[in-house]
Amino acid sequence: MDTQQQRKERLDRGIKVRTDGLYALMGWQELGYLTLPRLILIVGMLALPLLMPGMYWQRVITIVCIYALLALSFDFLAHFVGLVSLGGAFFIGVGGYFSAIFNASFGIPPLFSIPMATVSGAIVCTLLLIPCLPLRGVYFAIVTLMYPLALARVIEATDILGGTDGIMGIDSFSNSWVEQYVAIVLVLLFLFGLRRLVNTDIGLVVRAVKDNDQAVRASGMSVNFYKAGAVFIASGIGCLGGACLVHIYMWAGISLFALDFSILPIAATVIGGSGTLVGPVLGCLILVPISELLRDFGTLRIVFYAILLVCFVVFRSEGLMVYGERKYHQFERWVKV
């Protein structure tokens, strides 16, 4: 019995290394190899506002972060849960309007109205999406695309929530530094939070739902329960972005349901590399500023933008991050591990 136990422990050491990442503690070189990319990302993101030349570009950074939140939520849903969602605009709109109502009508300061809007927005989005959870792939995408279009028209037609004028007089953040760092910290928080989540056992179940929902059902777990949970998380992230956005613009209107919020995160995910979670953030960091730079071209902006996207899809269809990760792991062979 004792030798058997010893044998088991010896053999299982392999699993520990594979699953717990213990090998990182074996030396400075390996530690650096693992933490350096993360450090570059964190420090780089935190330093961004300081490097920007003026107010205009600092605002761009904030918008990048809002889109990055959406892209994270898209990547999480699409790659880890298997639900392709075009609901970015839906989440932004719901979260934004909630925060606007909490702040403008009830006088709740942004510090509380944003988290409240996040939770209540996520609940509303999840409830509205629960009927379509059994749908997969493009069918789910169509339904999520329908909601923002419909909600915008409902607000326009019935003149509720300020109608086409929107809701005005919303508090802003106390200053532009707070605004930027709130957005940046939120992106980093959810980026690393989601990365951790998908590697826990519960995240594994969610990934299994994407891989093979029949087998999950045969394992005695409700597929729809886990899908609903994942949608709650993803829509929460989107609503958080929307809630921040209305406090940045100090205005909430039906342009919150604009399709940009649905499409750009997808483009960013394609460019950054889907399934990496870092990739979409990187994609937003590239796409949003480029779209700002191209403003000089006027109407031709969309043309250049489209050409750029096509180039990425054709020449780097796997995405920058996937490509970068592969190269980085090849680099590993140079270092003695």
Residues of this chain that bind other proteins (CB under 8 A): 8, 11-12, 14-15, 18-19, 201-202, 204-205, 207-208, 211-212, 214-223
Q: How far apart are CA 301 and CA 201, in angstroms?
A: 45
Evaluated on CA atoms 275, 279, 284, 287, the torsion sign reads negative
Could you tell me whether strands 167-168 and 251-252 are parallel, antiparallel, or unpaired per DSSP bridges?
antiparallel
- For tokens 């075009």, what's the residue? 86
CB-CB neighbours of 112 under 10 Å = 13
β-bridge partners, 167: 252
Q: How far apart are CA 24 and CA 35, in angstroms?
A: 9
Q: How far apart are CA 191 and CA 284, in angstroms?
A: 13
Let me know: does 261 contact 56? Beta carbons within 8 Å: no
For residue 269, give both structure tokens: 């995910």
Q: How far apart are CA 86 and CA 319, in angstroms?
A: 19
φ/ψ of 95, rounded to 5, equals -60, -45
Q: How far apart are CA 177 and CA 327, in angstroms?
A: 36
Q: Least distance to other proteins from the beta carbon of 214, Å? A: 5
Helices H / strands E in the chain, number of each: 15, 2
Q: Least distance to other proteins from the beta carbon of 225, Å? A: 9
DSSP label at residue 251: E
Q: How far apart are CA 122 and CA 232, in angstroms?
A: 5
Q: Is 167 helix (H, G, I), strand (E, B) or coil?
A: strand
For residue 305, give both structure tokens: 């933008």
β-bridge partners, 187: none
